[in-house]
Amino acid sequence: QQQVKQSPQSLIVQKGGIPIINCAYENTAFDYFPWYQQFPGKGPALLIAIRPDVSEKKEGRFTISFNKSAKQFSLHIMDSQPGDSATYFCAASKWNSNYQLIWGAGTKLIIKP
């Protein structure tokens, strides 16, 4: 009930391509779904987050798609750049919790020039 399953584990995409990272959750009480970006040697940083009242949210080149009935959400990166190469984590939580995030396992993304 508490797991967040993230796939793929790693992903290599050519510059300009659209990498897609998927996450699935089990607990229907979750209502906050953030994505974090982590560069080597750094801590994670919040990238974008969505709540279930919308099915899609865009911030710059980053888009979250959310499918409540399937209990899935995904991150799309438009016009990907080598500087987007990082590890991406999805997470889930109850909105009224105290940062009690349940994290996915992470996806190592490499954008080839």
Tokens for 45, please give them: 């940083």
Candidates 37, 17, 43; CA nearest to 86 is 37
C-alpha neighbours within 13 Å on the C-beta side of residue 112: 4
Q: Please state the closest distance from residue 10 (CB atom) to other proteins, in A.
A: 11
Exactly one of 46, 55, 67, 68 binds other proteins (CB under 8 A); that residue is: 46
Peptide bond into 52 cis (omega under 30): no
Nearer to other proteins, 54 or 69 (CB): 54
Nearer to other proteins, 69 or 98 (CB): 98
Nearer to other proteins, 59 or 79 (CB): 59
**Interacting residues of 97 by C-beta distance below 8 A, sequence separation 6+:** none
Q: Please state the closest distance from residue 84 (CB atom) to other proteins, in A.
A: 19
Residue ranges in contact with other proteins by CB under 8 A: 4, 6, 9, 32, 41-46, 89, 91, 93, 95-101, 103-106
